[in-house]
Structure 1
Amino acid sequence: MPKKRSTKKKKSTQIPYPKNQPPLNTLQALERAMQYHQAGDLQSAQALYHQVLQAEPNQSEAIHLLGVIAAQVGDNQTALDLIQKAIQINDSIPNFHNSLGNVLWSQGKFTEAANCYQRSLALNPHFTEAHNGLGNVLKEQGKWIDAADSYQRALCSNPNYAEAYYNLGNVRREQGLLPEAIICYQRALALEPNHFEAYYNWAIALMKQGKPAEAVLQFKNALALAPHDIEVHNHLGIALLEQGKPAEAVDRFQRAIALNPDNAEAHYNLGTAYDKRGKLTEAIASYQKALTINPNDAPTHYNLGIALHQQGHKTESIAHYQKAIALNPEHVEAHNNLGIILSEQGKLTEAIACYERALALNPNYAQVYNHLAGVLLNQGEIDQAITHYRRALALKPSFTTAHTGLLLALHYVEGLEPTTLFSEHQRFNEQHAKPLTPSSPRHLNDKHPQRRIKLGYVSPDFRQHPVAHFIEPVLAHHNHTQFEIFCYDNHGKTDKITQRLQQSVEHWINCVTLTDEALASLIKQDQIDILIDLAGHTNDNRLLVFARKPAPVQVTYLGYPNTTGLTTIDYRITDQYRDPEGLADELSTETLIRMPETYYCYRPYDDTPPVNDLPAHQNDAITFGTLNNYVKLNPKMLTLWAEILQAVPGSKLLLKPSNQILNDPSARQAIEKQFMTVDIQPTQLILEEITPSPSHLKSYHQLDIALDTYPFNGGTTTCEALWMGVPVITLVGQTHTARMGISLLSTLGLTELIAHSPKDYVELAIKLANDRAYLQNLRESLRDRMQTSPLMDGPSYTHHLETAYRKMWEKWCDLS
């Protein structure tokens, strides 16, 4: 906080005590004592004041000044007693009342202090220090206008009084009048260049103006005058953090801690700086140290909760969020973040309660609406989720995360017109991407069409994630004589898959801490020729990097089942099944590039379980099922599945959603009730909670037939089912999301598993359920069929992809 200051002692040359001096009279002794006092020699001054009083016990000025010395050394009670005694002797001296006001002000007795200053001014209306003192009292009482008036009166009495300018600056800052405050600090410094607090509070005002670079200069000026001031080091560190210089900030906070190891604020700030640098272990240690000093600081518990969450320590994180809330029940962000963790744990009902508490505290908190929408989507409440995404965008139109969430959610709406969905993607481009797009992007890349091409892949999913199953065969089989590979990893954690992928490429850049602008600049610096987005409108995408057009050719591929809507992305990779010619071209801002054999090239887990015997042989009944996300299970699918179960006696339906919804008892009960509305009883359901990959594949040992979802087919789940020997029945629609099944099954020559109408879907499931010989034969042969198909032919697939890349590059070279 800005430092408070009322008066500032003027230094003068110290007068030595003369040798062989004749005895002083009382007046001379008093004058000599005052000279010592002004020079800062309090001990000599005090001795002479006492000599004066021995000669003249009621000398009011000597008594008064002894009181001032007592105040200077922190003995306020003695100061009060002495100054009040001086006033009793002579109450007509303005300075006595002013000094008494100063002591009372320092004790926080503002009303009594104000009375003293007013008495002083009644005796001398032009008493500068009394006007200043009264201003200090009024400022402490929050009476900004009256305080400013008092300081201005002080300046009318003495236009060269630096302290009044300084104090007036503090009032103007509190009033939000930052330019006026800065002018006051500058005037104070013009009169008194060594006014440390004026530099300090000038810097604070600049910070409030959002000018951290200018603030850094003034904090450094303050440090030149007071190099050991902890608060300045602290605030300088904060300014450096806001400048995006966390390494320099760490140094400042460490200096503050060296000056005072028990300064909790410095440890807290150091934790924040480490957090900004991605050094979570060090950040956690700093926050924990701050809490050993001040265990009841809600912001520290909150920040520690964030860091622990980022490290995956969810239980400990929850404890600190809860402590932050206990200390500050109105801590909106803590309620929000607690909801996020509970959602990740599958405790959806508790998460919703946290979000609702946050919204009760702040109904206009866009981020909470976004997170609440995500939970509702996981529960299958698609319409409610869309409503909340739109509410978040209404509150914060620039909220790209909510907008991408909305776009993904719209894919689950059964019956939504493809043109409507396309328009929503175009709206994203107009609102978020187009303002960032250069009117005439310049690329200085060498335009030789046959040279080695630099490819840049951008993704948050270079790890155990569905996307990794399909990008790994590509990275593993690139022709490195023709292509130089860069991977821009937008995720903070690595795993075994990440490490494996890193070995396949020349350049690996973790870009999670880079802003979109900084990442775009880095990509231009790397002279990437073709930049490939692998995320689309999914979590942690970097589409706004692509909006800046850092590479001459830009492509979207693999991670998202639709157009991005961005006019700066030139191509979208697909195949003839997912996006047939004449059906999809007009609904994509990108030019569609159709792979000749398959859109996907699949790499299963290394340690997948073996294919087992047909479960129906042992159960003497068919088990249908799906491992797709619950949000894909809309009322239409439930109705179709009910028809299938009713037509196949003794059959059951296994559900193992790939999120944690079944971890929540309330959500599980809601699911059972939802199925009962279509006459599927709980006894016909097998509900399994999510398990870690790849152990989740063991659930396929219970399945005879997998039922695909519609209008959002399975992708990775379909590949996994087929790999485990389980046939998948798919229902085909008009959009990419409703045609993923036809693409995969057609690639494997399993067109008999493709239904083109709901009626066909039901009849096909019943037909397969009654042909166990076919199911057994397919179960035994599916894995071999996949391994020998284009779906798992990494070298051929990558060659086709590289051919497409080369043609894109040649076209750009030709047109440039």
Structure 2
Amino acid sequence: MALGRSAQAEILCKKVLMLRPGDQDALHLLGVITYQAGNRHAARAIYQQLLESNPAHHVIWSNYGVVCLALGDVQEALRCFNRALEISPDFADAWNNLGTAWDTVDPAKAVDCYQKALSIAPERIDICNSLALCYKRQQHLCDAIKWFKKSIDLNPYQFDVHCRLAELLEQAADSLNACLEYKMALALKPDDAVALKMETVLPVVQQSRESIQLSRNSLWNALQVLQRKGLAIETPWERGRVFFYLAYHGQNDRSFHELIAQIYRKASPDLTWLAPHLVNPEKRNLRDKRLKVGFISRFFYNHTIAKLNIGYVEHLNRDRFHVTVLVLPGALPDAMSHRFQAAADTFLLLKGSFHSVREQIAAQHLDILLYTDIGMEPYSYFLAFSRLAPLQCVTWGHPATTGIDTVDYFISHAVCETEESRASYTEKLFCLSAKAACTCYARPTLPKLDSTRAAYGIEDGWNLYYCPQPPFKLHPDFDQVLHGILSRDPNGLVLLLRGVTPGTEQLLWQRWAHLPNTEKNRIRFIDPLPFADYIRMFELADVVLDTPHFSGGNSTVEALAVGAVVVTLPSPFLKGRLTYAWYRRIGITDCIAQSLEEYVQIALQLATDAARREALRQKINQRSHLLFDDVQAVRELEGFFEMSRNGR
């Protein structure tokens, strides 16, 4: 309902109620109008009044539940929707609304509700889209794609749905159809954000070194054309791209990220924003002499980013630092998020619009804002275009430069950097010293299972080589490792992880078409494992294979924590040197190769020589404690913060 007509309808409802107090139709319409106007508490009062005289009206119960859900009262909303369905079991709206309520609590139940709604009203486009989004949030991409396609079949003129489907097809490694969906969206409405996405699709799985270079050349040319066009993009934090897959090419990406940031800053002037307290810094409250440090991410829950940073939040000296944890929209509450909350001096769940989130951060009057990851999702990337603190830093949650001129420092580690890599940052580089660990990694509590290989469908007698990384990390150079191992070890079995859709696995099989069947038959894909089984697989594997050009970070620490032997080949850049740095930390170099051929030789020796492998396991177990709770890393980070307090 348009704003003007809504206001007229509200006036009319109130006139009717003056003439006929208690008129249920007028009161119900007034409740709808009041809710749509954003007056949720007033709408709640109206629906409560309606239910006093209409306790068996299923539509009123359902609408009242919508209001309760908007107010954050999920349990009351669930009660309302269930009551509506008790009265009218075939009320599709109530099933849809019940799905929306469960979506925040139990996504599996949400799926059941949406499917029930569609069994009643199979032509409801809005429910198809709700179900697709629910599947997307659970990373069930094939199901999400299916229901967005169903929605488009019902109505092909949905610009937003074409865009969402295109994004999912990109993730599913279906670049061709992703571009077609972007084209369909642009045929419905010209839009520079979509045009940029269509012109800059990168393959998720590259077929060769040559295809990587072709992709990069094509991307560079497309970006230069887009820069010359002069784009205008609204709300890039909702519709922009972060070029996540560039990092997996194994090259220096600085020029790309610089150009991308320049394009977005020019296309979206709204990204450039200066926090009010930085306009007049002399007006700040100076009673608290401690430096105010903010840690910001969407991933402060049971996630790699949280594991890499909780130690800093817990151990920064509170006599000198006030620590604020800023959680971006989309985070999931769990034991780890509660741990961050308990450790922080201030814990803030950021809510509302992008502009409101900026203002909430600015209101903290931070001295230093540390992004634990930029480049994994759009929100934090585009937030970093604002100046929210005098000093803004990023660290290696996503180990790539940002290209953003308002990010001042990249925090890395001396062992992770080379002469070549130091030139790959647009930020100034600060490195923890070789005396410190890569981060203050809190000692994990690891589950213990006694399951055998048979529990995972692996027969006895194999020399088991396990790579715990997703398909997009498997650079074409990894193929030489596969062939080298499988051609020389007839008892070798390589275990790999499936991607989020079958498309990535299919592209890898295409890449390996040249391998003889005797080798391909000894490559197996398994679904990503629950955490306890994931840890157990490190123990069951004879050798863990690190991925060249983008090494394990968190996964390597967890593997070493249980004594697994991880073979690695460090690259010139941070993203390919983390396993190397963890090994240097514990003083073990046995598994560090200098070439792909040496990588294969080390893997073969360890897999086929049980005594040598067991001796190395014992050595790792004896020294792995050095990986955890490293206070030296905290002290050096504190020193950097204090050194930088008077300027960037």
User: TM-score with structure 2 length normalisation?
Assistant: 0.78
Are the aligned partners of 2:551 and 2:568 in contact in 1 as well (CA < 8 Å)? yes
Aligned Cα RMSD in Å?
A: 4.0
- Cα deviations by residue, 1:390-420 (Å, 9 ceiling, x for unpaired): 9874169546467665511333356685523
The amino acid of 2:643's aligned partner reads K
Separation in structure 2 between the aligned mates of residue 318 and residue 446 of structure 1, nearest angstrom: 49
1:500 aligns with 2:339: yes
Instruction: State the shift of 1:651 in Å.
Output: 0.8
Q: Is residue 2:73 matched to residue 1:279? A: yes
Counterpart check, 1:203 vs 2:12: no
Judge conservation of contact 1:403–1:428 (CA < 8 Å) in 2. no
Q: Quote the residue 1:302 is aligned against.
A: 96
Cα separation, 2, equivalents of 1:769 and 1:808:
48
Q: Identical aligned pairs, as a percentage? A: 22
> Per-residue deviation at 1:670?
8.0
Shift of 1:436: 4.2
Cα separation, 2, equivalents of 1:252 and 1:699: 57
Match of 2:218 in 1: none
Q: Give the letter aligned to residue 592 of structure 1.
A: L
Structure 1 partner of 2:114: 321
Quick one: distance in 2 between partners of 1:412 and 1:363? 36
Please state how far the C-alpha of 1:332 moved relative to its aligned partner: 3.6
The residue aligned with 2:515 is 678
> Counterparts of 2:412 and 2:176 in 1: how far apart (Å)?
29
Distance (Å, rounded) in 2 between the aligned partners of 1:366 and 1:806: 47
Report the 3-state secondary structure (helix = DSSP H, G, I; strand = E; otherwise coil) of the residue aligned with 1:503. Answer: helix
2:51 & 2:380 partners in 1: Cα distance?
A: 38
Residues 1:271 and 1:780: Cα distance change in structure 2 (over 3 Å) = same
Q: Which whole-Å CA distance do the structure 2 matches of 1:611 and 1:807 have between them?
A: 49
Aligned residue in 2 for 1:85: none
How far residue 466 of structure 1 moved from its aligned partner, in angstroms, is 1.1
Task: Give the letter aligned to residue 633 of structure 1.
Answer: L
Which residue in the other structure is 2:490 paired with? 649
Give the Cα–Cα distance (whole angstroms) in 2 for the partners of residues 381 and 543 of structure 1.
25
Structure 1 residues 408 and 586, CA, compared in 2 at 3 Å: closer, same or farther? closer
SS at match of 1:696: helix
**How far did 1:761 drift?**
3.3
TM-superposed deviation, 1:452: 0.6
Shift in Å, 1:635: 4.4
Q: Which residue of 2 aligns with 1:394?
A: 194
Instruction: Answer yes or no: is the 8 Å Cα contact 1:536–1:559 preserved in 2.
Output: yes
Match of 1:362 among 143, 148, 156: 156
Q: Residue 248 of structure 2: SS of its match in structure 1?
A: coil
Partner in structure 2 of residue 794 of structure 1: 630
The SS at the match of 1:412 is helix
**What's the offset of the Cα at 1:628?**
1.2
Specify the code of the residue in structure 1 equivalent to 2:542: D
Greater RCO (Cα-Cα under 8 Å, separation 6 or more): 2
State the AA in 1 paired with 2:263.
R
| Shift in Å, 1:450 | 9.7
Residue of structure 1 equivalent to 2:205: none
Distance 2:183 2:581 in 1: 33
Structure-2 separation of matches of 1:494 and 1:711:
33
Partner letter of residue 146 of structure 2?
A
* Structure 1 residues 452 and 433: alpha-carbon distance in aligned structure 2, compared to 1, 3 A threshold: farther
| Higher mean C-alpha displacement, 450-459 vs 408-417 | 408-417
Query: Matched residues in 1 for 2:254 and 2:534: separation?
Result: 34
**1:1-58 deviation digits (Å, cap 9, x = unpaired):** 9xxxxxxxxxxxxxxxxxxxxxxxxxxxxxxxxxxxxxxxxxxxxxxxxxxxxxxxxx
Q: 1:233–1:256: 8 Å Cα contact kept in structure 2?
A: yes
Residue 407 of structure 2 corresponds to residue 569 of structure 1: yes
Which moves more between the two structures, 481-490 or 416-425? 416-425
State the Cα distance separating 1:204 from its structure 2 match.
5.1
Q: Which residue of 1 aligns with 2:50?
A: 256
Q: Find the aligned partners of 2:356 and 2:533 in 1 and give their Cα distance.
A: 40
Matches within 5 A, 1:560-709: 560-580=398-418, 583-585=421-423, 587-588=425-426, 590-596=427-433, 597-609=436-448, 621-657=462-498, 678-679=515-516, 681=519, 683-709=521-547
The residue correspondences of 1:57-206 to structure 2 (distance < 5 A) are 203=7
TM-score normalised by the chain length of structure 1: 0.64
* Cα drift, residue 772 of structure 1: 4.1
CA shift in 2, pair 1:408/1:670, >3 Å: closer
Q: Name the aligned partner's letter for residue 284 of structure 1.
A: L
Tell me, yes or no, if the aligned pair for 2:552 and 2:579 is still in contact at 8 Å.
yes
- Spell out, residue by residue over 1:547-591, the C-alpha distance to the aligned partner (whole angstroms, 9 max, x if none): 443333322234322233433333222223445456344542x33
Matched, 1:335 2:173: no
CA displacement at 1:626 relative to structure 2: 1.2
Query: Which of 60, 85, 108 is the equivalent residue of 1:266?
Result: 60
Give the alignment of 1:389-538 within 5 angstroms. Answer: 393-394=193-194, 397-398=233-234, 400=236, 406-413=242-249, 418-432=254-268, 435-438=271-274, 441-442=278-279, 444=281, 446=284, 451-490=289-328, 491=330, 493-511=332-350, 513-538=351-376
Cα distance, 1:545–1:342 mapped onto 2, change above 3 Å: closer
**1:595-642 per-position Cα deviation (integer Å, ceiling 9, x unaligned):** 223433323431343999999xx9665311111123223544234312
The one-letter code matched in structure 1 to 2:128 is: H
The 3-state SS of whatever aligns with 1:694 is helix
| Cα 1:479–1:406 shift into 2, 3 Å | closer
1:162-185 Cα deviation digits (max 9, x unpaired): xxxxxxxxxxx8xxxx8xxx6xxx
Q: Check the 8 A contact 1:443/1:551 in 2, yes or no.
A: no
Tell me, in whole angstroms, the C-alpha distance in 1 between the residues paired with 2:145 and 2:265.
31
Per the TM alignment, residue 653 of structure 1 is displaced from its structure 2 partner at its CA by 0.8
Give the Cα–Cα distance (whole angstroms) in 2 for the partners of residues 685 and 456 of structure 1.
45
Conserved? CA contact 2:452–2:540, under 8 Å: no
**Counterpart AA for 1:409:** Y
- Confirm or deny: 8 A CA contact 1:449 1:809 kept in the other structure: no
Distance 1:439 1:485, change over 3 A: closer
Gap change, CA 1:646 and 1:807, over 3 Å in 2? same
Q: Specify the structure having the higher radius of gyration (Cα).
A: 1
Deviation of residue 530 (structure 1)?
Answer: 1.9
SS at match of 2:118: helix
Structure 1 residue 463 displacement after superposition: 1.8
Do the aligned residues in 1 keep the contact of 2:551 with 2:579 (CA within 8 Å)?
A: yes
Question: What letter corresponds to residue 315 of structure 2 in structure 1?
Answer: H
Match of 2:570 in 1: 732
Instruction: Identify the range of structure 1 (567-576 vs 744-753) with the bigger mean alpha-carbon deviation.
Output: 744-753
Amino acid at match of 1:594: C
> How is 1:225-240 mapped onto 2 (pairs within 5 angstroms)?
228-240=22-34
Deviations 1:473-507 (A, max 9, x none): 11221211111122223355422222233222222
| Alpha-carbon distance, 1:336 to partner | 3.6
AA of the residue aligned to 2:309:
I
Q: What letter is aligned with 2:95?
A: H
Residue 357 to residue 532, structure 1, CA distance change in 2 (3 Å): same
Letter in 2 for 1:322: Q
**Contact 1:428/1:565 (<8 A) preserved:** no
Distance 1:641 1:449, change over 3 A: farther
- Say if 1:678 and 1:459 are closer, same or farther in 2 by CA, change over 3 A: same
Letter aligned with residue 412 of structure 1: Y
- Tell me which amino acid in the other structure corresponds to 1:799: R
What's the secondary structure of 1:627's corresponding residue?
A: coil
Does the 8 A contact of 1:653 with 1:684 survive in 2? yes
Q: Which consecutive unaligned segments of at least 5 residues does structure 1 have?
A: 2-172, 183-200, 206-214
**Does residue 106 of structure 2 align to residue 312 of structure 1?**
yes
2: distance between equivalents of 1:498 and 1:385?
Answer: 35
Report if aligned partners of 2:95, 2:114 keep a CA contact under 8 Å in 1.
Answer: yes
Structure 2: runs of 5 or more not aligned? 186-192, 198-232
Tell me the amino acid that sits aligned with residue 525 of structure 1.
A
